[in-house]
């Protein structure tokens, strides 16, 4: 039997988390009767009061997800808190309830960052397949590089191979905010081809929902303690950045844009867009798209004329995980991408180009899991060196590698994560 989860709830209660990360969300696991951010004794009392007619039923009070709220839900929630439940129902990032049988001993993970979060929670031994061929990335994923790969795209993955591996669940690549558009259609294709296999679709990328999803994932994998350890670390840095940048005036925020391919850029609700905002930058795409737009969490094609008009002070270029990161010994590819931006004739008079503020950053320190804290640290240091004088992004990066990736890797001596490299930045390195 696993240690009683109430112990870890008490530990969590001692951790001060930001409203954005903790107090402002509902942990969407059935049994969370009082609809707060955790499961604990208060939920048991709440269900007892519902059964006694003293409380009205809530959406998540039906702990065993059978359509009724009764004594059996008290028994199910007690089992969850004791770590002996045989099933668990949660609401995924697409708003749909999903029931998994417990414990999960065999997991196929098709997500880009879901697999990294599985390692963070110390559950990498349950993985039986991964979405992509990671043999090139053995420096960062030594165990994952040895796994069979089954593909991640819903239309192209090897369903027969997945089924042959007899997984208890499949974590899909539906793991980022942009899947609010089209995500349900993709999930239906997974469901059609993976009948009776529970699908895990949790957002492992965007900063504003990561804590909620990691806590849910911790319950799914029976790694609540490990989840709270990561949440403590992650939220500590998140809170620090937020506390220093949320009070900046609009005039104090440098105008920025984060590009992937030429003029295909990240809106503010996306993972890299949130890096800019949390680091104290102003995304020029805010002039085009607001929080109410379904594509606010995605990337957009923008016109070169728009960039010229907005005249950003910083241009950030995201470099993919096959051309940068832990397995790359030099930054030549990143340097070429920087040159590609600075050589665009239409951008010759942009402030960012004139003042050498075009920066290439690797996906490995940006995309999701704990990586976006690293990227935020670098961007914050660049945009507001005085405000973040006491912050060492390299140390944060190394701490993440040592504590949560558990690999022997010196980020100062190896890999290609930034161009220009940090020791050439106009900050005290």
Q: Which residues touch 200 (CB under 8 Å, ≥6 apart)? A: 92, 98, 100, 114, 169, 170, 171, 172, 217, 220
Three-state DSSP class for residue 416: strand
The model carries a pTM of 0.92
pLDDT of residue 145: 82
State the pairing for strand pair 199-200/358-362.
unpaired
For 283-310, what is each residue's pLDDT tens digit? 999 999 999 999 999 999 999 999 999 9
pLDDT of residue 429: 46
Angle separating helix axes 271-278 and 224-245, nearest 10 degrees: 50
pLDDT of residue 427: 75
The answer to whether 217 and 352 have CB atoms below 8 angstroms apart is no
For 131-162, what is each residue's pLDDT tens digit? 988 889 999 999 888 899 999 999 999 999 99
For the chain, list residues with pLDDT below 50. 1-23, 429
Give the up-direction half-sphere exposure of residue 101: CA atoms within 13 A in the CB hemisphere: 7
pLDDT of residue 426: 82
CB atoms within 10 A of CB 192: 10
Whole-angstrom distance, CA of residue 352 vs CA of residue 339: 13
pLDDT of residue 55: 95
């Amino acid at each position: 039997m696993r240690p009683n989860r109430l112990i870890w709830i008490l530990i969590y209660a001692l951790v001060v988390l930001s409203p954005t990360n903790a107090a402002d969300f509902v942990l969407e696991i059935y049994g969370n009767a009082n609809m707060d951010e955790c499961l604990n004794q208060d939920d048991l009392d709440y269900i007892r009061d519902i059964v006694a007619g003293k409380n009205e039923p809530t959406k998540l009070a039906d702990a065993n997800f059978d359509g009724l709220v009764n004594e059996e839900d008290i028994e199910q929630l007690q089992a969850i808190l004791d770590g002996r439940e045989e099933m668990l129902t949660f609401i995924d990032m697409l708003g749909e309830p999903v029931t998994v049988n417990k414990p999960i001993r065999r997991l196929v993970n098709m997500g880009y960052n879901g697999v990294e979060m599985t390692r963070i929670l110390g559950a990498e031994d349950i993985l039986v397949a991964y979405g992509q061929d990671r043999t090139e990335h053995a420096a960062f994923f030594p165990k994952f590089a040895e796994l069979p790969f089954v593909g991640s795209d819903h239309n192209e993955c090897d369903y027969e191979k997945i089924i042959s591996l007899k997984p208890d669940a499949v974590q899909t690549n539906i793991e980022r905010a942009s899947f609010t558009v089209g995500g349900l259609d993709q999930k239906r294709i997974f469901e059609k081809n993976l009948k009776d296999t529970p699908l895990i679709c949790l957002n492992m990328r965007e900063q504003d929902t990561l804590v909620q999803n990691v806590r849910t994932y911790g319950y799914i994998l029976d790694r609540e303690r490990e989840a709270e350890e990561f949440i403590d670390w992650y939220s500590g840095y998140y809170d620090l950045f937020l506390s220093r940048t949320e009070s900046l005036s609009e005039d104090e925020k440098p105008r920025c844009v984060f590009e992937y391919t030429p003029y295909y850029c990240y809106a503010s609700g996306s993972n890299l867009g949130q890096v800019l905002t949390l680091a104290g930058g102003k995304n020029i795409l805010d002039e085009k798209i607001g929080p109410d737009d379904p594509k606010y969490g995605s990337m957009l094609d923008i016109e070169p004329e728009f960039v010229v008009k907005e005249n950003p002070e910083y241009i950030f270029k995201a470099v993919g995980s096959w051309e940068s990161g832990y397995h790359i010994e030099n930054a030549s590819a990143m340097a070429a991408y920087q040159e590609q931006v600075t050589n665009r004739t239409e951008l010759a008079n942009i402030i960012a180009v004139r003042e050498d503020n075009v920066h290439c950053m690797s996906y490995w320190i940006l995309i999701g899991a704990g990586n976006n804290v690293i990227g935020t640290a670098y961007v914050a240091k660049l945009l507001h060196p005085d405000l973040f004088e006491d912050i060492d992004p390299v140390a944060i990066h190394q701490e993440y590698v040592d504590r949560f990736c558990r690999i022997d890797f010196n980020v100062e001596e190896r890999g290609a994560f930034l161009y220009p490299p940090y020791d050439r930045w106009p900050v005290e390195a």
